[in-house]
Amino acid sequence: MLEFRVVARDGRARRGRLVTARGVTVETPVFMPVGTQATVKSLSPDELESLGASIILGNTYHLYLRPGAERVARLGGLHRFMAWHRAILTDSGGFQVFSLARTRAVEEEGVRFQSHIDGSSHFIRPETAMEIQRLLGSDIAMCFDECTPYPVTRDYAEESMRRTVRWAERCRRSRTGDHQAVFGIVQGSVFADLRKACLEALQEIGFEGYAVGSLSVGEPKETMLSVLEELAPCLPEERPRYLMGVGTPEDLVEGVRLGIDMFDCVMPTRNARNGALFTSSGNLQIKNSRFADDSEPIERGCTCYTCRRFSRAYLRHLFLARELLAYRLNTLHNLHYYLKLMADIRNAVEAGSFESWRKDFYERRSGGSS
């Protein structure tokens, strides 16, 4: 059973503590680095630990296609396979099937799709998604849902949401792994009444945590925030709240302010590989020629491995030379930035000073008192 306690509140923001059934503690609000193919790209598990990561994401869709869930189970499960002994949340693959797979057909029974790797045909039912996550042995499994694109008509959103609820029922009844919690995913696109109807139906079924799906799928920022503003307070107080696929540093701050506990996003790791680096005053693109002779670190005062040792000039050189070390050093910095941001947010919520911390956060980003 997944334990969760809110230990402090500051407005709608919550400071909480998750303890997985295996006994791993996750301080919330938390950012979960994405480890799509059983690795957070370019980093070792020891480096992830030293960055302070407590929980990472694994992608069911990818691991099902390669190397296969049965193979990972035969080798002792995902934690042992990738030597990561803290917490793992696996997504159900719903989003990947909708965003990655070639040709797909959604039926009541499940989703038919072709692998983006070799074009082979597959059919995933909600029960299959839960079986895959059981074999992987993650600490938190996600229901198989239908991620609704943006924009859609209200009828489409309602039809899709009702299917997600029927699938959630089937997921709840599926056999799950020992010590594995299951989260439901709230759908309903941008329609507040559909979102609330979905949440009520999911609470009827009963889950250990509740995720907000189909956001950060191309909708305007203010639309995402208004959906959250209305929905977040309705999510069960005493259960973890997870906003999927979000987001930029500003999104994390606003998500916490609206009562979200858990976040995942490929941004820090993907941007690192594209040379886009996060700093307190905004992003910098390391390949920019203005850094050619810059002996400063990415960000003065950043305590990450990269900033303690290397100059912007060196990082630009590595990036232009497509040296593998570029991806590692950029990723170490960006993940450090995200994980440190969440640690600062946790301290501010705990101290009851989140609003003043938030004001400083924005001042620094608008080139204020840096």
Ligand X SMILES: CCOC(=O)Nc1nc2cc3nc(NC)[nH]c3cc2c(=O)[nH]1
Nearest to ligand X by Cβ — which residue? Answer: 245
> Residue 335: which of ligand X, Zn ion, none does it interact with, CB under 5 to 8 A by kind?
none
91 noted as active-site residue: yes
- Annotated catalytic residue, options 10, 91, 139, 251: 91
Task: Tell how many helices (H) and how many strands (E) occur in the chain.
Answer: 15, 16
- Binding positions: 91-95, 145, 187, 302, 304, 307, 333
Contact 297, 307 (CB under 8 A): yes
Minimum distance of ligand X from residue 198's CB (angstroms): 11
Three-point CA angle 327, 96, 181, nearest 5°: 95
Using the structure block, give the residue that is written with the tokens 């107080």. Answer: 237
- Binding positions for substrate: 91-95, 145, 187
**Structure-block tokens of residue 251:** 């999104």
> Residue 267: which of Zn ion, ligand X, none does it interact with, CB under 5 to 8 A by kind?
none
Minimum distance of ligand X from residue 303's CB (angstroms): 29
Looking at the Cβ atoms of 202 and 215, the one nearer to ligand X is 215
> Residue 245: which of Zn ion, ligand X, none does it interact with, CB under 5 to 8 A by kind?
ligand X
Residues within the interface to Zn ion (CB under 5 A): 302, 304, 306-307, 333
Looking at the Cβ atoms of 57 and 286, the one nearer to ligand X is 57
Minimum distance of ligand X from residue 192's CB (angstroms): 17
> How far, CA to CA in Å, does 105 sit from each of 130, 309, 331?
20, 51, 36
293 noted as active-site residue: no
Residues within the interface to ligand X (CB under 6 A): 91-92, 94-95, 142, 145, 147, 185, 213-217, 244-245
Looking at the Cβ atoms of 21 and 313, the one nearer to Zn ion is 313
Cβ neighbors of 246 (< 8 A, separation 6 or more) are: 215, 216, 224, 252, 255, 263, 264, 265
Minimum distance of Zn ion from residue 44's CB (angstroms): 18
Using alpha carbons only, how large is the chain's radius of gyration in Å? 20
DSSP string, 130-194: HHHHHHHT-SEEE----PPPSS--HHHHHHHHHHHHHHHHHHHTS---TT-EEEEEE--TT-HHH
Phi first, then psi, for residue 44 (nearest 5°) are -85, 160
**Structure-block tokens of residue 48:** 């992830």
Looking at the Cβ atoms of 42 and 148, the one nearer to ligand X is 148
Minimum distance of ligand X from residue 36's CB (angstroms): 11
DSSP state letter for 34? B
Looking at the Cβ atoms of 93 and 297, the one nearer to ligand X is 93
CA 2 to the chain's CA centroid: 18
**Structure-block tokens of residue 161:** 């949401």
- Annotated catalytic residue, options 10, 155, 264, 344: 264
**Structure-block tokens of residue 314:** 């060196």
Q: Which residues are catalytic?
A: 91, 264
